[in-house]
Structure 1
Amino acid sequence: MTFSIAGFCPRSGQYGIALSSSSMAVAARCPWLMSGVGAVSSQNVTLPSLGPKILERMRMGESAAIALDNVMAAEPFADWRQVTVLDNQGQSAVFSGAHTLGINHHRQGVHCVAAGNMLANSGVIEAMVSQFCADPASSLGDRLIAALQAGLRAGGEAGPIYSAGMKIVSSESWPLTDLRVDWHEQDAIGELARFWQLWQPQSEAYLTRAINPAQAPSYGVPGDE
């Protein structure tokens, strides 16, 4: 149903998650991020509340592994959950319950972690991590999108993919990037990549508009002079 990758960029301090699914609006339920703290993807049979719970424990000082262990120990339906975690040291942790669907796999890499279920093959996850780690000088968003595309080329899900998304946090409490393809019957990942190409050149300008409007560039729309 879902494959995802979470990544950390030590140069920018950014965290991000890119993911796709056969289900509608995957990015509305699965990715959770907190600036300066880390990233969590709650997937398979998704319980969105796991993300905020794990992030809060990491905010209080727990590592990715300890926070994940503590939250999942209290989860009565843990066997149905698949969760990936990345903390502010770039360290990762993964939980895949006994009832994780279909072919499922995970891999932890340098400053990243990927996992999936209902996969065409386990090589999907291997390809994602290899691609993410191949070009550490690129922007986090470029690396996440490239990893998602690599997973698709390696086989993707066992069935069709209908939704995709990418979320990135930087220095502020709100996401720097929050792109979603909630339903696309032909190429949800390709559409997400197209959105990223449109958004990337504007993302920092929108951050400036929020923090210091007097220094923000104009986009030439009515009332924006």
Structure 2
Amino acid sequence: MTYSIVVRCPRTGEIGVGVQSHFFAVGAIVSWAEPGIGAVATQAMAEVSHGPGVLERLRAGDAADAALAGALAADPHGAARQVGVVDASGRTAAHTGSSCIADAGHAIGEGFAAQANMMAAPGVPQAMADAFAATDGPLWTRIADALDAAEAAGGDIRGRQSAAILVASGDPAERPGHGILVDVRVDDHEDPLREVRRLAELSVAYARIDEAEQLLAQDHPEQAVAIYDELLSAHPTNTEFAFWAAVALAGAGRPQEARRLADPVLGSGDGDRWRALLARLPPAGLTSQDVVDELLR
């Protein structure tokens, strides 16, 4: 079985899809999203082209139901398909073909469509719907909570293997390839839901590093320090976070705190690599030579 949920957050406008299956690399097949356009889950005897195809129809102005109907009308094997769609306005649609392996079904509501096939027990789509409606916070966490609820309701009759979470901005991307906020996949794992949640959390943290690096380049070390403090509080053993936090702290005139973080990194087994990287930062405009000298003292 595959169970999935496509969603839109009414507060942020973000759109996303989450999926789990006892099948290898399910995220490469099922999950589709485009910033400011919508999200699609295509599963069961999946026709992968329904992902980009439905998004193309949404981009052309179709609402979720019309986009899905148009795609299915051109599919001679629609009875074997299961598809969920949410558009950028939060309108939803879902289809469970009559040939999908039982138990199969879907549940739709404002801003979400949840679908499942080969369920161990009925009720998985509604469990996802209820969990999504009952939770708050970042969209990726609400998706993860919905997937956990699906598993608790019985999940896949075959077990678990792979999972994915994909979240896109609610605004159209200004440039191709931009606007994807979370894109993590677990292709083969004994506990894919736990692992995909861990990766999603780490993905969000690394996005914050990009923000902090931009602040460093703009000569705002104190603001960068605030971000690194937050990251290190959540990920105290992450070497990457510690290195960049040390650079930011030194640039903000806090050398003792900077060296406290930098010394274990620079003195580690990979210390030569980190010291070499540190020396490359001033030419790139990410810090000053004084900061490098301070950290290498």
Same-fold status (TM-score > 0.5) = yes
Query: Using the alignment, how far apart are the partners of 1:165 and 1:150 within structure 2?
Result: 15
- What is the letter of the counterpart of residue 179 of structure 1? V
Corresponding position of 2:114:
114
Q: In 2 relative to 1, CA 202–122 (structure 1 residues): closer, same or farther, beyond 3 Å?
A: same
Count of residues in Structure 1 that have an aligned counterpart in Structure 2: 222
SS in 1 for 2:205: helix
Deviation per residue, 1:83-120 (Å, 9 max, x gap) = 00001110100111121112001001221110010011
Native 8 Å contact 1:109 1:133 kept in 2: no
Native 8 Å contact 1:41 1:85 kept in 2: yes
Native 8 Å contact 1:17 1:168 kept in 2: yes
SS in 2 for 1:98: coil
SS in 1 for 2:155: coil
Native 8 Å contact 2:183 2:200 kept in 1: no
Q: In 2 relative to 1, CA 96–208 (structure 1 residues): closer, same or farther, beyond 3 Å?
A: farther
Query: Using the alignment, how far apart are the partners of 2:216 and 2:185 within structure 1?
Result: 26
Deviation per residue, 1:104-141 (Å, 9 max, x gap) = 01001221110010011221111111010112x41101
- What is the letter of the counterpart of residue 58 of structure 1? L
Corresponding position of 2:271:
none
Corresponding position of 1:87:
87
State the 4+ residue runs in structure 1 displaced beyond 4 angstroms. Answer: 215-219
Query: Using the alignment, how far apart are the partners of 1:105 and 1:212 within structure 2?
Result: 48
Native 8 Å contact 2:8 2:112 kept in 1: yes
1:77-156 to 2 correspondence within 5 Å?
Answer: 77-135=77-135, 137-156=136-155
Choose 1 or 2 for highest CA Rg: 2
| Aligned sequence identity (%) | 34
Query: Using the alignment, how far apart are the partners of 1:66 and 1:75 within structure 2?
Result: 14
Aligned Cα RMSD in Å? Answer: 2.2
Query: Using the alignment, how far apart are the partners of 1:47 and 1:163 within structure 2?
Result: 18
Where in structure 1 are there 5+ consecutive unaligned residues? Answer: none
1:28-67 to 2 correspondence within 5 Å?
Answer: 28-67=28-67
Native 8 Å contact 1:110 1:133 kept in 2: no
Where in structure 2 are there 5+ consecutive unaligned residues? Answer: 225-239, 244-273, 287-297
Q: In 2 relative to 1, CA 105–207 (structure 1 residues): closer, same or farther, beyond 3 Å?
A: farther
Query: Using the alignment, how far apart are the partners of 1:102 and 1:213 within structure 2?
Result: 55
Q: In 2 relative to 1, CA 159–59 (structure 1 residues): closer, same or farther, beyond 3 Å?
A: same
Deviation per residue, 1:41-99 (Å, 9 max, x gap) = 01001111111111111111110001110110011111111100001110100111121
Tell me if 1:177 matches 2:182: yes
Deviation at 1:3, TM superposition (A): 0.1
Query: Using the alignment, how far apart are the partners of 1:207 and 1:127 within structure 2?
Result: 36
- What is the letter of the counterpart of residue 131 of structure 1? A
Native 8 Å contact 1:176 1:207 kept in 2: no
**TM-score when normalising by structure 1:** 0.90
Query: Using the alignment, how far apart are the partners of 2:33 and 2:209 within structure 1?
Result: 21
Please identify which structure carries the higher strand content.
Answer: 1
Corresponding position of 1:14:
14
**TM-score when normalising by structure 2:** 0.69
